[in-house]
Amino acid sequence: MNTSDLQTVLSERFAAVKGRIAEACRRAGRTPDGVTLVAVTKTVSPAVAALVPPLGVRALGESRPQELWRKAEAVAGADWHLIGHLQRNKIDRTVPLVSLVHSVDSARVLDALNAFGQKRGAPVAVLLEVNCSGEESKGGFSPAEVPALGDTLAGLGGVDVRGLMTMAAYSDDPASARPTFARLRELRDQLRARTGLALNELSMGMSNDFEIGVEEGATLVRVGTTLFEGLGEDR
Ligand SMILES: *Cc1c(COP(=O)(O)O)cnc(C)c1O
């Protein structure tokens, strides 16, 4: 595909996804400005990712730090989100490039980010990843661990904990994600009551289930396949 065809395909797909987000907002009595679409570019090249910000979608997500570094160099005007595991030895290089780390999946990573934020004198914006679906293949804090984190969070000057993130189990029926997302929202509400932190962000919903995420209160949806399917071979 040439650049102009790619731009056309991408702008149609972004319009379709934004339309579906708006419809889900309408069903839930929410306004679409309360939901940020994070375009997950992990399957496409830097050249394809670079076409996204000019279409008006600035939030781009990558799950691997090294791939994020590579794309951050090549893509202008993006606001990067890390959505996958952050190894502690990659914090120094990754954090300065991103506006939000969605995937703080252990107390060790949280402590390391806190130390980094304190050292540089500016807190790192993060979400805590919670394994609400209970699948062993997924990382994150267990729901049972979350309430007790409340006492820890208050004392962390080096991180700005903005909310929670989860991934639902894949299913042919998107509605089966609903209990997982409702659970994340309830955990957020409990943690908010316990800490007094705003915890406004809920990152939940991917290609298969982002509308359910929005209906359950997502402020960030992470969509890859629906936007970029078939474009991974381009450039
Ligand atoms: C890849 C990925 C996504 C996007 O998933 P799609 O099903 O392709 O939309 C969202 N979140 C995380 C954490 C991912 O790794």
Q: Ligand 1 centroid to 85 CA: how many Å?
A: 13
Structural domain contains residue 167: yes
Structural domain contains residue 234: no
CA distance 7 to 54: 10
pLDDT of residue 234: 65
Which mean pLDDT values do the consecutive 10-residue runs of the chain (235 residues) have? Answer: 94 98 98 98 97 97 98 98 97 98 97 98 98 88 93 91 96 94 97 95 98 98 98 77
Q: What is the pTM of this model?
A: 0.97
pLDDT of residue 138: 86
- Tell me which residue range forms the domain holding 12: 3-228
The answer to whether the beta carbons of residues 204 and 184 sit under 8 Å apart is: yes
Q: Ligand 1 centroid to 154 CA: how many Å?
A: 30
Q: What angle do CA 207, 47, 210 make, to 5 degrees?
A: 10
Give the nearest ligand 1 atom to 226 CA: 9
Beta strand residue intervals within 73-146, DSSP E = 79-82, 98-104, 124-129
Could you read off the pLDDT of 109-128 as tens digits, one per residue?
A: 999 999 999 999 999 999 99
Structural domain contains residue 49: yes
Structural domain contains residue 173: yes
Residues within a 6 A CB radius of ligand 1: 40, 42, 63, 83-84, 167, 206-208, 222-226
Structural domain contains residue 32: yes
Structural domain contains residue 100: yes
Structural domain contains residue 60: yes
- φ, ψ of residue 165 to 5 degrees: the values are -135, 145
pLDDT of residue 1: 87
Q: Ligand 1 centroid to 141 CA: how many Å?
A: 18
Structural domain contains residue 84: yes
CA distance 45 to 10: 14
Q: How far apart are the first and last CA of the chain?
A: 9
Check which CATH number belongs to the domain holding 12 and give it.
Answer: 3.20.20.10
Number of domains the chain is built from: 1
